[in-house]
A and B are shown apart, each in its own frame.
Chain A
Amino acid sequence: MSLAESVLQGNRLALARLLTQVENESQEGVEELNRLFPYTGKAHIIGVTGAPGTGKSSLVNQLVYALRHPEGAQKPVRVAVVAVDPSSPFSGGAILGDRVRMRDVVGDADVFIRSTASRGALGGVAASTANLVQVFDAAGFEIIFIETIGAGQAEVDIARLAHTVIVVEAPGLGDDIQAIKAGILEIADVIVLNKADRPLADNAERTLRMMLELAGNRQRTKAEGEQPSKGWTPPLIRTIATEGKGIREVCEAIQEHHRYLHSSGEWGRRERLRLQTELENRLQAILLKRLQDAISVETYEHLLNEIVSRQLSPYQALEILLDGVEQ
């Protein structure tokens, strides 16, 4: 039996091994992914991002627990977590520590947590994160959390990988100018102000509310011939993840956003964008590799020396390099 078949039948060890294969983008992994792809497209993919130490892992831990133990007549859903931590730029090694905070959900066979290293990618997720998500999706996990590496102002790749993006903020991290700069607040579908028992929490909330109002005004002035009331305004929810406070509200916001995505047609648009991004990333990677393979090490070193000795500018060297490739 192939790994993909075992995964579809619910074999957890096969799932773990296939995740390794697709993370390494081995030949076998790519072939198995091709087999699994028709089974994907069902899961609700939720990105969780925010600065280091805002409490992303603790929040995910609580959210997973809440989704596994819902109130009332709701059915618990199967949940997977892809937790990304940074690779060392020097050794290529990594310490993946998100599991330390995800203790409340161990021993539950319908929860699967996988830690993964960024392996040089700079957007807050790894190049292979989309592959891992596809495997979980095909394996029947209904909700997949992607926890990014601690991100700040530029790591917005998650917006193109997830259906719903939760941005986690904490008190005391920056002034009101930080909040109106370009960056991760722009990609938020849900904003969580964690550690809401800390001093300055009220200040942080005021700042975030002001930012949300400005964003709301902007949406209205854009108009674009649509009724503005149809849009989505990111809710701001205060939580204390370590105590489980505010977690139900975040779960409700996630479900609310899921309903909005489907009723507004935004789901289809995001799916298309998500898959387009994946195709483009693959295309870029393979074209870059082909280009690099086509350039000899000697030529490359020679031109680099010329740049260092100021004989050529980087742009001039580029022209020479690409001329050689095109011939």
Chain B
Amino acid sequence: MSERKIRVLIAKPGLDGHDRGAKVVARALRDAGMEVIYTGLRQTPEMVAEAALQEDVDVVGLSILSGAHMALVPRILDLLRAQGQENVKVFVGGIIPDEDIPRLLEMGVMGVYGPGTLTEQIIKDISAAVSRVERSSQR
């Protein structure tokens, strides 16, 4: 009876303590009609993967400002795959040097959004990525 909503986990893995960006994105996704699970600061990759499983999310958004993204992101992707959530889309926001972006995309990250990104862009990308997953799982 009630329709399907896109569910997004917004997490801040690592040790930096600045979550304004994560909150701005969470709020924008809410206003786009998505259900956003917000987990707060200082999450380990295991905590992020565990929350993604329990909440059965379509998308995981990681906000990382500490520079630890090349360690944290592959770890989280591995954990998601290991628990059978290879269909979950992962995007990364925060401070990511340009040269790391292609490497993150190669690992399977859906998008990397630095400062100044329009939230409309993130919403558009998420909607497109989730509907692609749905089409392929129906087949």
Contact = CB atoms under 8 A, between A and B. Distances in A.
A16 B56 contact: yes
Nearest to A96: B37
A153 interface: no
Given A16-B56, A99-B51, A107-B50, A93 B35 contact: yes
Interface of B: 1-5, 7, 26-27, 29-40, 46-47, 50-51, 53-56, 83-85
A114 B54 contact: yes
Contact of A92 (B5, B46, B84): B5
Contact of A96 (B38, B46, B56): B38
A81 to B, nearest CB: 9
Interface in A32-91: 87-88, 90-91
B120 to A, nearest CB: 14
B34 A93 contact: yes
B101 to A, nearest CB: 28
Interface residues of A, number: 35
Interface of A: 12-13, 16-17, 19-20, 23-26, 87-88, 90-97, 99-100, 103, 106-107, 112-115, 117, 119, 127-128, 285, 289
Contact of A88 (B30, B37, B53): B30
A115 B54 CA distance: 9
Contacts of A97: 37-38, 40
- Interface secondary structure of A, over-half rule: mixed
Contact of A13 (B29, B40, B84): B84
Contact of A128 (B2, B4, B31, B36): B2
Contact of A100 (B39, B54, B55): B39
Nearest to B38: A97
B5 A16 contact: no
Contacts of B53: 12-13, 16
B38 A117 contact: no
A285 B30 contact: no
A106 B47 contact: yes
B12 to A, nearest CB: 11
B133 to A, nearest CB: 13
Nearest to A12: B53
22 contacts: A12-B53, A16-B56, A25-B2, A88-B30, A91-B31, A92-B5, A92-B33, A93-B33, A93-B35, A94-B36, A95-B26, A95-B27, A96-B35, A96-B37, A96-B38, A99-B40, A99-B51, A103-B40, A103-B47, A114-B55, A127-B1, A289-B1
Contacts of A17: 56
Contact of A119 (B2, B29, B50): B2
Nearest to B23: A95
A17 B4 CA distance: 13
Contact of B35 (A25, A100, A107, A117): A117
Contact of B1 (A25, A88, A95, A106): A25
Given A13-B84, A17-B56, A95 B30 contact: yes
A79 to B, nearest CB: 13
Contact of A112 (B38, B39, B54, B84): B54
Contacts of B31: 88, 90-91, 93
Give the 8 A-B residue pairs with the shortest CB-CB distance, closest first.
A100-B40, A93-B30, A16-B56, A93-B33, A20-B56, A97-B38, A92-B33, A96-B37
Given A13-B84, A17-B56, A95 B36 contact: yes
Given A95-B30, A96-B36, A107-B47, A16 B2 contact: no
Given A91-B32, A106-B47, A99 B56 contact: no
B88 to A, nearest CB: 11
B35 A24 contact: no
A91 B27 CA distance: 11
A25 B4 CA distance: 9
